[in-house]
Amino acid sequence: MMMTQPTRRTTMSETSPWDGIGIPGADVTVRLVDGKTAVPCFWGRAPDETCLFIIELQGDHSAQFRKNVVIVNGVAVDLRGHDSGQQHLVLTLEKQVDLDLFAGLCRTLASALVHASDSANALTIALNHIRRWKNFLSGRSQRLSAEEIRGLFAELVFLLELIDRKSAATAIAALNA
């Protein structure tokens, strides 16, 4: 009997927005994001070859950032000052293996920033967008409230007592009732 090997198909991977951006010796190398955004956005590379997404903000937004900062596993989110009265919200990819996910986050963030009215609004939109991605990727597991935890604990204690005094079958019947 002749066995045929399954055909392996390979596809060319989608290009990354960071393709073609050189690795700088110092500081960062950037390229303006194509399309319309209310604030300038840039694809960037750092000297250590990490990929960056940078949002340029006018003014000082330190207090707003500290109040609403989002901690995301795999992406560093930082607000950096600049001498010219500007700040930059910088998203840094921590693991190259997650480049496709990071690119998706950054592309949708750039699209969301089309609706920003000014730098403060852009920062709010950006942090909310990052928070939404974080919640989406975390699976938003439902957590029990303190009251629900107490209720569950009481039910479990009751079932254990029922098993000890009667039988497991009685406890299961009570659970199903």
Residues 102, 16: contact at Cβ < 8 Å?
A: no
- 140-159: per-residue pLDDT in tens? 556 767 777 777 777 877 87
Closest listed residue to residue 162, CA positions, set 153, 150, 152, 174: 174
pLDDT band at 61 (very low <50, low <70, confident <90, very high): very high
Structure tokens that stand for 47 in this block:
């000297």
Residues 106, 53: contact at Cβ < 8 Å?
A: yes
Structure tokens that stand for 113 in this block:
């920033």
What mean pLDDT value characterizes the chain? 83
pLDDT of residue 9: 34
Work out the average pLDDT over 94-114.
92
Say whether pLDDT at 2 is over 60. no
DSSP string, the chain: ----PPPP---PPPPPTTTTPPPPSSS-EEEEPSS--SS-EEEEE-TT--EEEEEEEES--HHHHHHH---BTTEEEEEEE-TTSEEEEEEEES-GGGHHHHHHHHHHHHHHGGG--SHHHHHHHHHHHHHHHHHHHHT-PPPPPHHHHHHHHHHHHHHHHHHHHS-HHHHHHHHH-
- Range of weakest confidence among 16-20, 26-30, 139-143: 139-143
Query: d(Cα 22, Cα 31) in Å, to the nearest integer?
Result: 10
Work out the average pLDDT over 152-168.
79
pLDDT of residue 6: 40
pLDDT of residue 140: 55
Q: Give the length of the chain.
A: 177
